[in-house]
């Protein structure tokens, strides 16, 4: 697989195409599954952004609501957590690509006005007006796949008598690929710039660990669609269940999966561990380049 990736441009910010990009995670939530609220406070969150940029992040993804189940966070509270923060990050880092993880069009509009470049819709169009906001501002947009899960449902819920084998796919790779391709085409038709669209198979959400491993084994089928693929598997249950380790011990497994997806042409990696992820994708890019050039002669 060549190291070249599809061109990506987010509100005029053209991204490098010779390697995968790193999207740092900054959660403005008190109940994140991984950091347990370490960047909920303003100062801690701003310091996290500064560290991520220094470590080589190309994009910073800011979220104000925990993805899974938890206390209610209404539009006003989500806006309070992220909108002024986006404005401050834009002031401190004028060239940084800022992404906001939200499914609500009201929040999307406010963060675009504050300087966000990319709307990371992790709930697959639950609010259809969000894509309209991206089109209006010329912002980027992430099309995700969650297998029909409602907003703020815990990832891969345990089976119940009513849903003993859920989630179920005849061919998870084919079905996820088809749904994401269709979603990306609809997003273009809605007016979002083609170069700003990413597709995300959304590991864990609406998929078991077995499904996630199958997607990774055949990741080239996603990248061969021509749409830039966002990979968000950092320290997730896919890694934890595969290796039987807790969230704080999933870095090695995350980087192994990162290398596999990068080799298959993934475009962006959403990551907690920025420096390590940046080094992993740069190593894959360098090895690909060496292979294309024939490498060094054997002594």
Catalytic residues: 236, 270
Q: Which residue from 129, 121, 81 is spatially nearest to 103, judged by alpha carbons?
A: 121
Write the burial class of residue 123 (CB in 10 Å: 0-12 exposed, 13-18 middle, 19+ buried). Answer: buried
Question: Contact 57/23 with Cβ under 8 angstroms?
Answer: yes
Return the structure tokens found at 38.
């370490």
Whether the bond into 167 is cis, omega within 30 of 0: yes
> Cα–Cα distance between 257 and 22 in angstroms, integer?
14
Sequence-ordered list of residues with C-beta below 8 angstroms from that of 159, at least 6 positions apart, any chain: 165, 166
Question: Measured between alpha carbons, how far apart are the two ends of the chain, in Å?
Answer: 27
Q: What are phi and psi of 235, to 5 degrees?
A: 60, 25
> How buried is 212 (Cβ within 10 angstroms: 0-12 exposed, 13-18 middle, 19+ buried)?
buried
Residues across the chain: 299
DSSP state of 21: E
């Amino acid at each position: 697989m060549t190291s070249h990736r599809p061109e990506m441009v987010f509100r005029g910010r053209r991204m490098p195409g010779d390697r995968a990009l790193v999207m740092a995670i900054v959660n403005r939530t008190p109940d994140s599954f991984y950091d347990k609220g370490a960047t909920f406070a303003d100062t801690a969150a701003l310091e996290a952004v500064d560290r991520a940029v220094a470590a080589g992040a190309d994009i910073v993804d800011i979220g104000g609501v925990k993805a899974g189940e938890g206390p209610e966070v209404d539009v006003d509270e989500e806006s309070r957590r992220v909108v002024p923060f986006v404005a401050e990050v834009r002031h401190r880092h004028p060239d940084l690509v800022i992404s906001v993880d939200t499914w609500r069009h009201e929040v999307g509009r406010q963060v675009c006005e504050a300087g966000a470049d990319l709307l990371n819709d992790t709930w697959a169009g639950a609010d259809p007006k969000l894509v309209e906001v991206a089109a209006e501002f010329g912002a980027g947009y992430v099309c995700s796949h969650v297998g029909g899960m409602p907003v703020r449902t815990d990832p891969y819920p345990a089976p119940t008598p009513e849903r003993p084998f859920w989630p179920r796919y005849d061919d998870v790779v084919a079905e996820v690929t088809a749904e994401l391709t269709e979603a990306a085409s609809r997003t273009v038709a809605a007016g979002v710039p083609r170069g700003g669209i990413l597709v995300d198979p959304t590991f864990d959400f609406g998929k078991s660990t077995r499904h996630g491993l199958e997607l990774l084994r055949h990741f080239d089928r996603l990248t061969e669609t021509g749409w830039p693929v966002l990979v968000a598997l950092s320290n997730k249950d896919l890694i934890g269940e595969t290796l039987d380790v807790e969230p704080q011990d999933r870095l090695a497994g995350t980087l192994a999966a990162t290398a596999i997806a990068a080799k298959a042409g993934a475009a962006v990696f959403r990551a907690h561990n920025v420096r390590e992820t940046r080094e992993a994708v740069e190593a894959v890019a360098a090895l690909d380049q060496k292979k294309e050039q024939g490498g060094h002669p054997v002594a």
